[in-house]
């Protein structure tokens, strides 16, 4: 199983990363350090997670060459617009205590995404950012963005798991040379996914856990995964998936789990757009 994928700008990105959503700042350095010690080289954070400082500290104290680590962060809606995004990029670099960021994403498809994207393009040219992409965008929004701007997104980070495989979106992204990246790759433990009999049987056959099978399934589809855990054994376990090769029959069995329903995003309602558009985080740029 592939350990990296080549982005449309030629940069290699790891296929398994460590996500730090909802991990408190005071715990983040420890768990990121554990992830790096276990072999992770992709770390995914965001301004809105309020733990960028701890992520940067873990990277700086790891003893690992910086060019071996692929660091992702995201701009929140309150910083969209060209001037605000330019300031926010410098703020992220300062909080992370880094000279550059490997991948910067627009966290949501709301507000002045065009202005923010222009600032991100300028940051790429200034070598502050190596790659730029989006998160939680619908494919038609990605199409619109890349038609009217200079730099094409390298990644769209969306909810993808066996219960919500996003088959059409994943295929469209791959057809357009944009890497699909899965947040919530294990379905946030919803709908009994960890005890699903199909996944349990496949896991037993491979002497793996159901979580490892879900990760391997996504990677085998060409999807980058960023599982999150604060438990040392799970952090290690989630990275131990590169020896899994699912058969065509097993892939078909997992495909039967598709419920064509997102449990978490719910981004296509006016109320959600209003809530996220008004959400402000207290961090300093």
CATH number at residue 139: 3.20.20.100
Range of the domain at 32: 4-278
Residues designated as active site? 49
pTM value is 0.96
Whether 140 is covered by a domain: the verdict is yes
Whether 161 is covered by a domain: the verdict is yes
pLDDT score of 170: 97
Q: Which residues are annotated as a binding site for substrate?
A: 107
Query: What is the average pLDDT across 149-159?
Result: 97
191 pLDDT tier (thresholds 50, 70, 90): confident
Of the chain, the percentage scoring pLDDT greater than 90 comes to 90
What is the C-alpha to C-alpha distance for residues 225 and 218, in angstroms, rounded to an integer?
Answer: 7
Residue 99 has pLDDT above 80, yes or no: yes
Query: What is the average pLDDT across 267-285?
Result: 87
Count of structural domains within the chain: 1
Query: What is the average pLDDT across 81-99?
Result: 98
26 pLDDT tier (thresholds 50, 70, 90): very high
Residue given tokens 């040379």 in the structure block: 177
Residue 189 has pLDDT above 80, yes or no: no
DSSP states of 38-67 as a string?
Answer: TT--EEE--GGGT-HHHHHHHHHTS-S-GG
Whether 285 is covered by a domain: the verdict is no
Whether 283 is covered by a domain: the verdict is no
Whether 241 is covered by a domain: the verdict is yes
pLDDT score of 139: 95
pLDDT score of 265: 58
Whether 46 is covered by a domain: the verdict is yes
Whether 95 is covered by a domain: the verdict is yes
pLDDT score of 163: 93
Q: What does the pLDDT look like over 218-260, one tens digit per residue?
A: 999 999 999 999 999 999 999 999 999 999 999 999 999 998 7
Residue 19 has pLDDT above 80, yes or no: yes
C-beta separation of 261 from 165 below 8 A:
no
Q: Which residues are annotated as a binding site?
A: 107
pLDDT score of 267: 65
Token reading at 185: 């790759």
Q: Which residues have a Cβ under 8 Å from the Cβ of 258 and sit 6 or more positions away?
A: 162, 163, 164, 165, 167
Query: What is the average pLDDT across 31-47?
Result: 98
Token reading at 3: 């350990």
Residue 117 has pLDDT above 80, yes or no: yes
């Amino acid at each position: 199983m592939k350990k990296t994928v080549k982005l449309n700008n030629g940069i290699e990105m790891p296929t398994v990363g460590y996500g730090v959503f909802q991990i408190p700042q005071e715990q983040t350095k420890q768990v990121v350090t554990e992830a790096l010690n276990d072999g992770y080289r992709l770390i995914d954070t965001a301004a809105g997670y309020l733990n960028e400082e701890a992520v940067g500290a873990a990277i700086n104290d790891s003893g690992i060459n910086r060019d071996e680590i692929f660091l992702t962060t995201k701009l929140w809606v309150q910083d969209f617009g060209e001037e605000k995004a330019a300031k926010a990029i410098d703020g992220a670099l300062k909080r992370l205590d880094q000279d550059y960021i490997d991948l910067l994403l627009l966290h949501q498809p709301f507000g002045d995404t065009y202005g923010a994207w222009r600032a991100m393009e300028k940051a790429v040219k200034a070598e502050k950012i190596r790659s730029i992409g989006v998160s939680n965008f619908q494919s038609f929004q990605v199409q619109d963005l890349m038609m009217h701007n200079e730099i094409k997104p390298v990644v769209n980070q969306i909810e993808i798991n066996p219960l919500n495989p996003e088959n059409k979106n994943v295929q469209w992204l791959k057809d357009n040379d944009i890497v699909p990246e899965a947040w919530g790759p294990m379905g946030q433990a919803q709908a009994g996914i960890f005890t699903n009999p199909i996944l349990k049987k496949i896991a037993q056959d491979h002497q793996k856990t159901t979580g490892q099978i879900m990760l391997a399934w996504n990677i085998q589809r060409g999807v980058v995964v960023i599982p999150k855990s604060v438990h040392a054994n799970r952090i290690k376990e989630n990275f131990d998936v590169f020896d899994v090769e699912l058969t065509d029959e097993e892939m078909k069995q997992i495909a039967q789990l598709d419920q064509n329903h997102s449990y978490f995003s719910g981004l296509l309602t006016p109320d959600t757009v209003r809530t996220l558009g008004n959400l402000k985080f207290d961090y300093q740029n």
